[in-house]
Structure 1
Amino acid sequence: MELKRVVVTGLGALTPIGNNLEEYWNGLINGVSGAAPITHFDASNFKTRFACELKNFTATDFIDRKEARKMDKFTQYAMVAVDEAIDNSNIDLEKIDHDRVGVIWGAGIGGLETFQNEVLNFAAGDGTPRFNPFFIPKMIADIAPGQISIKYGFRGPNFTTVSACASSANAIIDALNYIRLGHADIIVTGGSEAAVTIAGMGGFNAMHALSTRNDDPTTASRPFDKNREGFVLGEGAGALILEEYEHAIARGAKIYAEVGGGGLSADAHHITAPHPEGLGAKNVMLNCIKNAGLKLTDVDAINVHGTSTPLGDIAETKAIIDVFGEHAYKLNINSTKSMTGHLLGAAGAIEAIASIMSIEKGIVPPTINHSTFDDEIDSKLNLTLNKAQKRNVKVAMSNTFGFGGHNACVLFKKID
């Protein structure tokens, strides 16, 4: 059968450097760091006392207070980002077939704060199990797409993808394939995460995964820099409206980019460490380009996973050179995690949006906080260091890799 074309017709962003799409994009191209001391809880006894939290955000400014109380933060974030994406898409909700609209959402952890607080409350009590009746519905990772579909009455495919930090990239790829195969006209997709909590920070600190640059948090996320020593935890959501091309054209939709393809792979190596030679990263990029039916030389830019960890950044850059050969040195490579921190299950979504906006605006956001080259990372690569670069981006890829060895890569291209 002939696969249908899929395009992006709406975007929404709720991030540590901007609470909507415009603010997020301006933060990216201006190299703004979202890292700051933690305000969600008292972190004074933690090894890491900073994170990339949302700024000046109150959920009840967007969601009815009664309804907001029934949602964990990760669902609240999803609802806000999706509201913007739907508004941004100019979809007339009264004229679309709601049976042909689905929601496929990514979350690596789900309602961590809800789980944490309920257990702490029980432990502090007299042993009587007085749990909130919304405990389970708030916590489960699949509840965000459920809440979105309930609000809008979308009755198409509805589920959550969970693959750690690759979750929302997986969601985008699933959404792409459901539309390609004719199972839906529109899919609301993306991801959200709200892990800046006692449990989240404590757990990642115990793994020695986080930066501990408490004296200078704004420069702590420093992908590719010789002195990087861990990632910075972030929170937020990114939402994309994917739509079948002819459906979008028929309603006169603005098209940001075409979703050219998606690739998946596994490292099959270690639960947290990447394959040292970037084998899984290499395979996922090759799979993605093949799925898109493009040549290696068609690719202009890659928003890499680039978490600012000692092993991960080396493995990913090796993989890029292995895949692209000499063309690797003609690419714009960047890590927007240097600004947003690592949004875990939401990372793929907000970074996909950054790639799409690079195509839309002809600008590649920078990798900030780089001051010292690492001998193990090829200095001839254009890592888009410290300043945004203008470029006519026709094809952009976005890499996301998750604990467990899950790899996902999404490719976007300028519409023909």
Structure 2
Amino acid sequence: MKQYKYPNPTEYSTLLQRPGRDSEQLRNTAESIFSEVQRNGDQAVQKYTALFDGVTLDGMRVSKEAIEKATSGVPEVLRKAMQVAYQNISTFHEAQQTETLRVETQAGVLCWQEKRPIEAVGIYIPGGSAPLFSTVFMLAIPAQLAGCKRIVLCSPPSSKGTIAPEILYAANLCGVTEIFSVGGIQAIAALTLGTAQLPKVDKIFGPGNSYVTAAKQVATRYGVAIDMPAGPSEVLVFADDTAIPEYVAADLLSQAEHGADSQVILVSTSEKLLDQVQLEVAAQVEQLPRKEVATKALQHSKAILVANNTEALSVINMYAPEHLILAVRDARTVASEVQHAGSVFLGNYTPESAGDYASGTNHTLPTYGFARQYSGVSLDSFLKSITFQEITKEGLLALGPHVACMAAAEGLTAHQRAIEIRLRNDKK
């Protein structure tokens, strides 16, 4: 990690740049595959599965028997851990349910809001070298709690044509029965457009590599919503002299191992801590099976020394990190000043890994600075709000003249007449 000492605030925007992405090339590739899936359906999906995943499948849907068999392939200790995660995530997301909001804005004018589930959702679960079975919980649990009628899970197949048993076990635990062995751009295209085997959905959720991210952006042009725009995983750790260097280094590396394009940022008011963490990172990275990946990520990561908490918060809010760890004294006070972050972890004993797996919060979060505009996935992500209103005769007599006046001022005569006809008839 390159170290920067007391940078001028005017340098922050340059200093905090993310790794670049060739978005145009990615978008062109995604658009090409979408067009082919639109023309050739499952044939195109299977073509790209053979090309990218090296496996040819007769059918992409995972059978009920295969899903149930996965339970026996997961070690008992892991099953117990996954059940704890399932319970905590369920508890947190269930608590997000809200009552119907009803307000009488004036006498005789009643307005209310009710929530309805999105009917069909697709959830994408990355496979590859690190099958993210934890993401199944993060997406399927709130989808189930919201009452989505159709939950379709896609995950890339292994060279044997199978999905990791941990993913299937998690899906079974969440009650997901529509599972397809397909990944990459072709999976997003199939969920967007619908094929003979894969159903079209209304909204697509889930992380993925840069190709999947580009595909989700293309999906929006076909009238399908997505959870949020996203980029590579990232963490910013703000640590002072109360932080434990060994812990901070471990937290930084837990994100660096996600991918070579991940980025980790350390901000500190203590030069001594900065140096100690650098030494810990160098020692700990040598012990990682994914050392090569983490090392590449560290090449575009930063360690920044600032004078005080105010400057640290300026860096944090400008960067708008996906994950923010506050290993500082009086972390709650500091947290109250955070304006832009996906998820915040307070204190030395709250590692970001806990939120990734089992504390209860959702780990599907905005990255690449999108935390300035977007929230992480929650129960509301799977719901839409519908407003209702009911006006009595007396209510319209009181409100109507004001509406007619405003409509006339905008030159919308039909709007005006819709009110005045009612008012006139009431006087007959």
TM-score range, shorter chain: under 0.3
Give TM-score, length-normalised by structure 1.
Answer: 0.27
Which structure has the greater CA radius of gyration?
Answer: 2
More helix by share: 2
- Structure number with the bigger relative contact order (C-alpha 8 A, sep ≥ 6) is 1
